[in-house]
Structure 1
Amino acid sequence: MIVKKFFLAVIAVLICQLGFAQKLTSYVDPFIGTGAVDGTSLSGSNFPGATVPFGFVQVSPDTDNEIFSPASGYNYNDKTIVGFSHTHLSGTGVADLFDVLLMPASGNLKWSPGDENKPGSGYRSAFSHQQETARPGYYQVNLLDYNINAELTATEHAGFHRYTFNGDGPARIMVDLDHSLSKKRDYWVCRILGAEIRKVDDHTIEGYRIITGWARMRRVYFHAKFSKPITNHEMAWGTHNIINKPVINGTDIVRAAFNFDVKKGEQVLVKVGLSSVSVNNARENLNSEIKGWDFDAVVKRADALWEKELSNIRIDAADAVKKIFYTGLYHLYIQPNNTADVNGEYQGSDMEVKKSLTKKHYSTFSLWDTYRAAHPMYTLLKPSKDAEFINSLIKQYESYGYLPIWQLWNDENYCMIGNHSIPVIVDAVVKGIKGFNLEKAYEAVKNSSLTDHPGSPFKYLHQYGYFPEELESQSVSKGLEIAFNDWCVAQFAKKLGKNDDYNFFMKRASYIKNIYDSKTGFFRGKNKDGKWLEPFHPLQYGGNGGNPYTEGNAWQYLWYVPHDIPGMIDLFGGREKFIIKLDEFFTTAGGEDAKNENASGFIGQYAHGNEPSHHTAYLYNYAGQPWKTQQRVAEIMDKFYTTDAAGYSGNEDCGQMSAWYIFSAMGFYPVNPANGVYDIGSPRLNKATIDLENGKQFTVVAHNAGGKNIYVQSVSLNGVAYNKNYILHSDILKGGRLVFEMGPSPSYGWAKKAISYK
């Protein structure tokens, strides 16, 4: 009997160990965030295709030929695929990239270069989600019109395609260099400035395109090899078709169709290297990263890279929570992207070819979104990688004159407001992250806060003490966000003993008082004569110009003083009035007729689908009612994160929406994303263990977490009662164990003892 019990106990331990060892990539679902339930609301704008962590290439299906929305190129609600392009943005609000589209076809296809926009014509094919799969580093779909099974995988600089031709008739693969962001809208003036496809030999093609869109003057070079010989081919420029000639080039609709002698059930593999510098570099990238034709080995390698990247945080939670959590971590690590080729060369922000000695240079910085939680998450989970990002930000300053605002393929596109490279750098400085030059970093943040550049005309701030709306639109949002950046510069100056700079930037950060109207209780826009803009409607939304507020309204920007919350409470007239106003924020309905396309994920006027609201649920901590923070944070996680295609309440924005969930599910969040403080909320995970880069472990345990148990009953840190509403980054780095006891009702006793951060 004893032997039997021992045997059963050993089996139980082995089962637990096997369960714990389940691959983390198995919890990632790349279809989360790829399509709204009703086909109209925001859903995440993510793509399901193959990429590796922080890779240059993202090979994925596109469901429209000229893309505007969703910005990822793939809409889960669409019924047809037009092809597989090699570069994509994840979760952004604006589209771009979609470079070098390939599409296989078979049968008696009549290729018509001019009619591919029409459903059912050209080379578009129907597909079904029942015959489609995706996981980290791999994507597969059956193209129903041609009975072709298409599979995709990727390395850092290359895409790898495997097409199994199960239909009848000739097999061909189209290559389309016209496929892009929509050219039918004037907003980004997208057009092809030049393109070329060249047949090098019976197995090889290469070429380039120069395209301007959201990112200007992007140079995209490619080198592609086929596993089978090309039997014949047709090229097109505009409506002109050329048969079996070696090269085609032009500025409009440059495409080619390559034919292969393939029997039913046979495969054609294609590997495509990309570069932003030259065809030679694209060839070198491909030859370096995919040496043979073992597709499955490349899939396995991509999966291993993802497993390694995800593995320094392990959690215990319900499977649905694990799926949301690790898919979010996956989305967080898709970008920023290493734009340096294997030889270290990349195209800089000044259009000059640069060389990185580390062979790393990152771009795709959606900073207005990601400085809030995504970059703080990098400082916690990937601090060395964060230092690499910062070195890349500083490189733009050195060649361009100021730090990035929104950088795509190393091009500054000036999207959004403020300059939020500043808090990203200062956050790393505050947390003691090594790997970049402090004096050069300070020079960059200071000069980027003094040099007028698009979206930051500091001359008006110095002249008026605010931004007059008729001189600088989005004036309230810019005033508030630049004030936070100024506070960040001041903290950096203080650390380096630069007292005059500290005093200057702290004074400028206080200018937000000049746009606070005590009568209405809101931050409001002014004209240059000092008068408030009338009429004033706090529910009225602004977009990206023509209104004092950026992608939000007066309610959502009311709370944007993350660097001085006690001062904000005083501005409101004390804690009681602050709580009343915050309650009103979460319960005030209305304004539907005034909302814009960025407004989604509502609880009252709280809009989780866009970033200005992201920190506000945690503000109750500062006014002595942390149980309300716990209730709202739990509500947001429950309402706005799911495991289906509509898994996000708005654009995922390069990892920011995911980072909010990852932090909040662990039980804390960086309200001020540049001071090394994490505010406690309502943990969703039973357990999370972080393998810190310094070799230590930090574990968060939440007993009874989940379901109705959303309220913190008590907290301990390393076995000692913990009565703070926050935990410091420096405490986490020491390693240890943070334990929450959770329950279904508020614990007013712990709340009364809990100290908020000052």
Structure 2
Amino acid sequence: MNHRTRIIKTTGVIAAFCISLSAQLTASAQTSKKLTSYVNPFIGTGAVKGSLSGNNYPGATVPFGMVQLSPDTRDEPEWDAACGYDHNDSFIAGFSHTHLSGTGAPDLFDILFMPYTGDEKTRAGDAKQVGSGYGSRFSHANESARAGYYQVKLDDHDINVELTATAHAGFHRYTFPKNSKAKVVIDLNHSLKKPNFGCQVIAAQFKMVNDHAVEGFRVITGWAKLRKVYFYAEFNKTIKSNDLVNGGTQNFDQKLLNGTDLRAIFDFDVADGKPVLAKIALSTVSTQNAKLNLDTEIPNWNFYQTVTQADSKWEKELEKIKVEGTAEQKEIFYTCLYHTFIQPNNYADVNGDYTAIDYTVHNTKGGFYSTFSLWDTYRAAHPLYTLVQPERTAGFVNSMISQYNTYGYLPIWQLWGQENYCMIGNHAIPVVVDAVLKGTPGIDINKAYEAVKNSSITNHPGSPFKAWEKYRYIPENIQSQSVSLTLEMAYDDWCVAQLAKKLSKTADYQHFMQRSQNFKNLYDIQSGFFRAKDTDAKWQTPFNPLQYGGNGGNPYTEGNAWQYNWYVPQDVKGLISLTGGDKKFTAKLDTFFTLTSKPGEVNGNASGFIGQYAHGNEPSHHITYLYNYAGQPWKTQFYVAKIMSELYNTSSSGYAGNEDCGQMSAWYVFSAMGFYPVNPASGVYVIGAPAMKKSVMRLSPIKTFTVLAPNRTAENIYIQSAKLNGKVYTHTYITQKDITDGGVLEFVMGNKPNMNWGTAINDRPVK
């Protein structure tokens, strides 16, 4: 070897080393990239071509916080912008402090702030005016958002608005044009469109505390009845003058004003070019508690410090699941996880005070949570919480039990601590039972059983238990939505039975297990569908399995007979038997996913269609996984992969339907990891087709559960083989114990179905 050769070879080694080091540094940089950088709050904020989008807001909030500070693009938000914001709008009415995430109905929008210059500007040709006159046009080119932060330029006033939040407070930063007539309005009459849901402001008050602060309240009724919202607000600049307005009556430099149509307009000096900062905290109890919340959570005027703190809170929560995939997949995944962790909301004050459902003040050490969209979230969001939010799960369950203690039964749809009875069934029951059976600490198991049992025998809107016991189905002429009610109440009863069994309450177990089989009483063998009967046990006619129902006046809730044909999660084997066995069951599933005929009056909640499958609404969410129960898991893999790739994206229309307080997102989070809770309270997760090359779920500081699919690509969607903790694994499900024990589930993926993997009877899901 000559010297020159040695130099060449040494150079090659150095080059190779440099390339390797560069690759490692690049990989390290990608690995160390903050997870919050993948969150895109604009996903799901606006429909394209008339589709549903998610109904999400882009504003600032922290995980499970009481305050959601976000722009409202409507002066009176309605159903089509239930979160207050629509990405297709170009006008902002103001920034209110409470919002619902992804719901199909509007409410909240409390304590709206809006900065403006005070200069009268004509808006010739602009048809979108608001009654207040202080709104502004804006452009998405001058708008940005990330976890815990929102920014927009108000074009009509040349004001840059920045927002951030803590658990109970919002923080505003307004940069006005220098020497402009800087004004800030606070609107206590801003709400959903009146008189929808009987919405009206019953009482409101402004009280000037000093030349930097104002406090007050409003009592309002709407979708949530009779909400009390107290606030305390401070500004960094002196309020030069105020105009307190009640309806059309102005009251200049007045210290106190009571009424029902209140606005306060404050003037500020911005000649120094420095921004106007505003901090406002909320409470359900008092203005004193609102001030305590503010002093505790934002003690200084460092806006960007609060932004950083919000980002850190989100990073901590998102780190509970770390995934490896494409940049687009990670953007969808972490935005989904972000949306799942927005609610339920802890609206107890920092001292533990909160207003209970009976309007008395209670105190708690573990937080009091509300915003329970249970008809949606019991399916996947709450099972996800039991895995990665066990402490908060105890808070959720204890908050539900608190309602039971005062109100007599568990929540149906609880908002701002009040019951609004939206949707059907008793789906706090599976949430409570699931948490208890999984051993979630901090829950009184005997009290939990008392709550679920009594909630299953007490008549209330949406669950007519006397008819249930008498007929063993719900007759349509007693209560509409009868087929959906029968199927969903049967599932809830199965959940009660499982907790009774754990507590050795044999008689209760047998009674509720018998009721859980009531679904069979509405199955029509001739048509092959669950159909409505009247009290005389005769089938209701005419019958069209494609006919949609909404929320009353039809046997089906936000769906049709095709979509509800599969809702027996507690006894899929029994459903297969009713259908005629595995072959007929899978053949009918094949038809379900390919039958494109639709009636003229498809319900507005129905979207995201694959045949009759409608991913945009929750009754369909488990159906793709049912092939596993009948020995054709490769079809589950195909449809799960299809939904993830086609019905989720990174645009403003990123969801196939209303996001519904985390359920649409939780479906993706579970499915992208590779499994889903078909029966949410069973502790069994049915395997689909993992989308990520790697998913690591952090269960404790020292324990993780990892799913590997290193050769997963857009084409490689089919499972070829699997191993669990290094051993060959052929089951098409995993259990709660498999996950909580920690370990590794590894898949080999391919572009063609392996029709031998997971097809044996013993490999099928057990529950």
Per the shorter chain, which TM-score range?
over 0.9
Alignment partners' CA distance in 2, 1:728 and 1:464: 36
Q: CA shift at 1:584, angstroms?
A: 1.0
Q: 2:193 aligns with which of 163, 176, 182?
A: 182
Asked whether 1:657 is paired with 2:667, we answer no
- Mapping of 1:1-80 within 5 angstroms? 1=10, 2=13, 5-38=16-49, 40-68=50-78, 69-80=80-91
Distance in 2 between residues matched to 1:22 and 1:269, nearest whole Å: 31
Q: Report deviation, 1:459.
A: 0.2
CA contact (8 A) 1:116 1:123 kept: no
Q: Is the 8 A contact 1:107 1:167 kept in 2?
A: no
The partner residue of 1:266 within 274, 281, 286 is 274
Aligned to 2:383: 376
- Counterpart of 1:193, as a letter, is I
Q: Displacement, 1:751? A: 3.9
Partner of 2:531: 524
Contact preservation (8 Å) 2:624, 2:639: yes
Which runs of structure 2 are paired with 1:714-733 in the superposition (5 Å)?
A: 714-733=721-740
After superposition, residues 68-467 of structure 1 pair within 5 angstroms as 68=78, 69-109=80-120, 118=129, 122-166=133-177, 169-185=180-196, 188-251=197-260, 253-263=261-271, 265-358=273-366, 360-467=367-474
Tell me how far apart the structure 2 counterparts of residues 722 and 156 of structure 1 sit (CA, whole Å).
Answer: 44
> Which one-letter code corresponds to 1:726 in the other structure?
Y
Partners of 1:477 and 1:752 in 2: CA distance: 31
Classify 1:120/1:472 alpha carbon distance in 2 versus 1 (closer, same or farther; 3 Å): closer
CA distance in 1: counterparts of 2:72 and 2:93, whole angstroms: 6
Deviation at 1:694, TM superposition (A): 6.6
SS state at 1:67 partner: coil
Give the secondary structure class of the aligned counterpart of 2:365. coil
**What is the DSSP-based 3-state SS (H/G/I as helix, E as strand, rest coil) of the residue aligned with 1:263?**
coil
Looking at structure 2, the residues matched to 145 and 7 of structure 1 have their Cα atoms a distance apart, in angstroms, of: 54
3-state DSSP class of the match of 1:175? strand
Cα deviation, residue 596, structure 1: 1.2
The Cα shift of 1:734 comes to 1.1
Aligned-partner Cα distance in 2 for 1:545–1:512: 20
Deviation at 1:110, TM superposition (A): 8.3
Task: Tell whether 2:626 aligns with 1:619.
Answer: yes
User: 1:207 is aligned with what amino acid?
Assistant: G
Q: Structure 2 counterpart of 1:321, which letter?
A: Q
Larger displacement relative to structure 2 (362-371 or 581-590): 581-590
Amino acid corresponding to residue 453 of structure 2 in structure 1: K
Give distance in 2, aligned partners of 1:353 and 1:701.
Answer: 49
Contact kept in structure 1, 2:203 and 2:218, CA below 8 Å: yes
- TM-superposed deviation, 1:4: 5.3
- The residue type paired with residue 322 of structure 2 is R
- TM-score calculated relative to the size of structure 2: 0.96
Distance 2:46 2:470 in 1: 47
Paired-residue identity, %: 58
Q: Deviations over 1:465-514 (max 9, x none)?
A: 11111111111101100000000000111111110000000111111111
1:189: Cα distance to partner?
Answer: 0.8
**For structure 1, which segment, 423-432 or 86-95, has the greater mean C-alpha deviation from structure 2 after superposition?**
423-432
Secondary structure of the residue aligned to 1:174 is strand
Paired letter, 2:203? G
Contact 2:102 2:660 survives alignment (8 Å): yes
| Correspondence 1:605-684 to 2 at 5 A | 605-684=612-691
| C-alpha contact 1:65 1:116 (8 A) present in aligned 2 | no
Shift of 1:752: 3.4
SS of aligned partner of 2:507? helix
Residue pair 2:547, 2:599 contacting (<8 A) in 1 also: no
1:19 CA displacement: 1.4
User: Residue 12 of structure 1: CA displacement?
Assistant: 3.0
| Structure 1 letter corresponding to 2:737 | S
Is 1:750–2:757 an aligned residue pair? yes
Q: Given that residues 490 and 517 in structure 2 are in contact (C-alpha distance below 8 angstroms), is that contact kept between their aligned partners in structure 1?
A: yes
Contact kept? 1:116, 1:124, Cα under 8 Å: no
**Match of 1:172, as an amino acid?**
K
Bigger drift between 256-265 and 615-624 goes to 256-265
Q: CA deviation at 1:8?
A: 4.4
Report the CA distance between 1:264 and its aligned residue: 7.1
The code of the aligned residue for 1:101 comes to L
Within 2, Cα distance between the matches of 1:465 and 1:701? 46
Cα deviations by residue, 1:159-214 (Å, 9 ceiling, x for unpaired): 000000026631000100010011043xx111100111121111011100000000
Q: Distance in 1 between matches of 2:280 and 2:132?
A: 26
SS in 2 for 1:395: helix
Distance in 2, Cα, partners of 1:109 & 1:66? 23
How far the C-alpha of 1:11 sits from its partner, in A, is 3.9
Shift of residue 117 of structure 1? 7.4
How many equivalent residue pairs?
Answer: 751
Query: Are the aligned partners of 2:77 and 2:191 in contact in 1 as well (CA < 8 Å)?
Result: yes
What do residues 598-626 of structure 1 show as CA deviations (whole Å, max 9, x unaligned)? 11110111000000000000000011111
CA distance in 1 between partners of 2:538 and 2:601 (Å)? 24
1:573 aligns to 2:619 (yes or no) = no
TM-score (norm 1): 0.97
Q: Counterpart of 2:462 in structure 1: which amino acid?
A: G
Letter in 2 for 1:62: D
What residue identity is the alignment partner of 1:520?
A: S
| Distance in structure 1 (CA, Å) of the matches to 2:743 and 2:643 | 28
Letter matched to residue 175 of structure 1:
I
- Please identify, of 119-128 and 362-371, the stretch whose mean Cα deviation from structure 2 is larger: 119-128
Q: Does 1:559 align with 2:566?
A: yes
2:346 aligned partner, one-letter code: N
Structure 1 counterpart of 2:509 = 502
Q: Report the Cα offset of residue 380 of structure 1.
A: 1.3
| AA aligned opposite 1:236 | V
Q: Contact 1:148–1:167 (CA<8 Å) still a contact in 2?
A: no
C-alpha contact 1:382 1:693 (8 A) present in aligned 2:
no
Task: Mark the CA change 1:172 to 1:127 in structure 2 (over 3 Å): closer, same or farther.
Answer: same
Post-superposition offset of 1:250: 0.8
Contact 2:54 2:102 in 1 (8 A): yes
The letter for the 2-side match of 1:155 is T
Structure 1 counterpart SS, 2:519 = helix
Q: Which amino acid aligns with 2:271?
A: K
Q: Which amino acid aligns with 2:480?
A: S
Deviates more, 1:607-616 or 1:232-241: 232-241
Give secondary structure in 1 for the equivalent of 2:616: coil
